[in-house]
């Protein structure tokens, strides 16, 4: 079970870091802003839904790992749920009508994503110390 959790969380962290720190910035450098925005608008729901699934599995199995792992997984799951079903739709709805408000929600989205990636890294460290 530890190996499954280590694999899932490591894969998600790798995907999240690659997309957040390389793919998205590259899209905005290479494409026009509106076109790059259309691409990431399509990717984000899938990315955060995948995060929900990984964190749900981690939460369900995490109580067998340790209390700290379980709590981190649960917090991470809640962040992903809020991100996917509240922050993302709110930001998308504001994009066309109030760009300033959209940018505020974009900042919240970036902050939540960063926190989630850090939590995932700590979860991986916990699993690794157990001998994953």
Q: Model confidence over 78-124: pLDDT tens digits?
A: 999 999 999 999 999 999 899 999 999 999 999 999 999 999 999 99
- How many CB atoms lie under 10 A from the CB of residue 71? 14
- How many CB atoms lie under 10 A from the CB of residue 52? 17
- Residue 67 burial by CB count (10 A; 0-12/13-18/19+): exposed, middle or buried? exposed
Instruction: Write down the pLDDT at residue 131.
Output: 67
- Residue 64 burial by CB count (10 A; 0-12/13-18/19+): exposed, middle or buried? exposed
Give CA–CA dist 56/48, Å, rounded. Answer: 12
pLDDT tens figures, 8-27: 999 999 999 999 999 999 99
Number of domains comprising the chain: 1
Domain containing 19: what range?
A: 2-129
Instruction: Write down the pLDDT at residue 102.
Output: 95
């Amino acid at each position: 079970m530890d190996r499954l959790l280590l694999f899932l969380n490591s894969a998600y962290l790798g995907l999240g870091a690659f997309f957040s720190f390389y793919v998205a910035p590259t899209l905005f450098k290479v494409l026009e802003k509106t076109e790059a925005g259309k691409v990431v608008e399509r990717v984000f729901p899938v990315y955060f839904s995948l995060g929900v699934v990984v964190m749900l599995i981690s939460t369900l199995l995490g109580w067998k790992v340790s209390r700290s792992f379980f709590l981190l997984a649960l917090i991470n799951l809640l962040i992903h749920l809020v991100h996917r079903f509240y922050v993302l739709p709110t930001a998308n709805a504001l994009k066309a009508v109030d760009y300033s408000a959209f940018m505020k929600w974009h900042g919240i989205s970036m902050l939540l994503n960063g926190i989630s990636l850090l939590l995932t890294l700590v979860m991986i460290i916990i699993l690794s110390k157990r001998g994953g």
